[in-house]
Amino acid sequence: MAENNFPKLHNATWPGIVGKGPDSEPAIAFDTMLEMTAAAEVDGVKFDGVDVGLFDPHYDLDISDDGIKRLADKVAKHGLEVGSLVAPIWGGPAMGTKEQRAEFVEMVRKSCHIGQKLREWGLRPNGIVRIDSASSPHDWALDPAGNTKLIAQTFREACDVAADFGESLAAEGEICWGGMHSWKYMLDTLEAVDRKNIGFQADMSHTTLYLLGYNAPEHRVLPEDFQWGDRETFLEGLRKLTAALRPWTIDFHVAQNDGTVFGSGSHDKTGRHCQATDPNGKLDITNDAGLWLRNESGELTKAFKHICWDGCMFPNAVMNNQQTWNDILAAMIKVRKAHGWVE
């Protein structure tokens, strides 16, 4: 029987930046992230591509098409393709002033242009453009209904711009983003946008915290007295969560989580990304990924053609160790063996 070749296995480049900076460790260069990804290999299997964060110091969004070509050549030289892109929307909160919201939409436009070029050049066969509300749960809570309406309006404008480029936008559910900080608020926001080209980006680490009701205790799924050893109760909660969000899910991050929140650098606290082999990891990565990749009947949804590992805020000593990426690739291969397909 042929080995599963879908979904394609991608690594993220933005963990070289997220949680790094002046009040943390220095950022890790884009070239280094590419080299580590390309060098990873397990039983002859390698990463197929990278998902790319389009922000400093890895990338200048105002670069010319020649600059985009240089990026494409650099990735292609390593035998990799590009998948999903992260739009740097944090200078323009989606529920901010008129000018800030226009800035948000403009960042999406520039990101979609890059995505379109990479597609034209044959380097980006699939993937979305990732967004979030760029607003804090605290600010959102000052006027939940009004702010959700504003976020939805900004997302709608961004969707209309993305549609001109043939792109879809995916909102990544994290407890640190207002209007997206619980699974129910996330659904409210997505439904309010009312556009065909928006969906949900599920990250296994971040969505675990939805179950615990961090930043939104009113939407906690697991019981107050939940103990991590109770795997059956955890799975029951995860099944409820995935049933609600899976129909919206168009992009997926494989990750591990130890059940705690963590932030470093300028990044607010969100689900702690753990190493694939972390003994404190609360997820059975292979099994639990299947709840996102298969529907309630156990059939593959095939809703996205690649999956990506996201491991933000790892210490630099961990990220500069090649074994880290081999372990991650091994975890990704197991997910594909269990929930992949042949094309």
Six-digit token pair at 338?
């269990």
Alpha-carbon gap, residue 170 to 131, rounded angstroms: 6
Comparing 314 with 178, the larger pLDDT belongs to 178
Residue 7 predicted with pLDDT over 90: yes
Q: What does the mean pLDDT of the chain come to?
A: 94
* Contacts for 117 with CB less than 8 Å, ≥ 6 apart: 65, 68, 69, 72
Six-digit token pair at 317?
């000593």
pLDDT in tens, 256-270: 998 886 444 455 556
Q: Alpha carbon of 88 to those of 81, 130, 132, 199, 318: distances in Å?
A: 21, 9, 10, 18, 25
pLDDT in tens, 143-159: 999 999 999 999 999 99
Q: In the predicted model, what is the mean pLDDT of residues 164-180?
A: 96
Which 3-state string (H, E, C) describes the chain?
CCCCCECEEEEECHHHCCCCCCCCCCCCCHHHHHHHHHHCCECCECCCEEEEECCCCCCCCCCCHHHHHHHHHHHHHCCCEEEEEECCCCCCCCCCCHHHHHHHHHHHHHHHHHHHHHHHCCCCCCCCEEECCCCCHHHHCCCHHHHHHHHHHHHHHHHHHHHHCCCCEEEECCCCCCCCCCHHHHHHHHHHHCCCCEEEEEEHHHHHHHHHCCCCHHHCCCCCCCCCCCHHHHHHHHHHHHHHHHHHEEEEEECEEEEEEECCCCCCCEEEEECCCCCCCCCCHHHHHHHHHECCCCCECCCCCEEEECCCCCCHHHHCCHHHHHHHHHHHHHHHHHHCECC
Q: In the predicted model, what is the mean pLDDT of residues 106-111?
A: 98
CB neighbour burial string for 226-246, b if at least 16 within 10 angstroms, e if fewer: beeeeeebbeebbeebbebbb
Res 8: pLDDT:
98
- Local confidence band at 274 (pLDDT 50, 70, 90 cut-offs): confident
Q: In the predicted model, what is the mean pLDDT of residues 296-324?
A: 94
Residue 240 predicted with pLDDT over 80: yes
Alpha-carbon gap, residue 179 to 295, rounded angstroms: 26
pLDDT in tens, 9-61: 999 999 999 888 888 899 999 999 999 999 999 999 999 999 999 998 899 98
Q: What are phi and psi of 145, to 5 degrees?
A: -65, -45
pLDDT in tens, 70-87: 999 999 999 999 999 999
Contact predicate 92/104, CB 8 Å: yes
Q: Which domains does the chain have, with CATH numbers?
A: 6-337 (3.20.20.150)
Res 268: pLDDT:
53
Q: Alpha carbon of 296 to those of 184, 205, 299: distances in Å?
A: 19, 21, 7
Comparing 62 with 243, the larger pLDDT belongs to 243
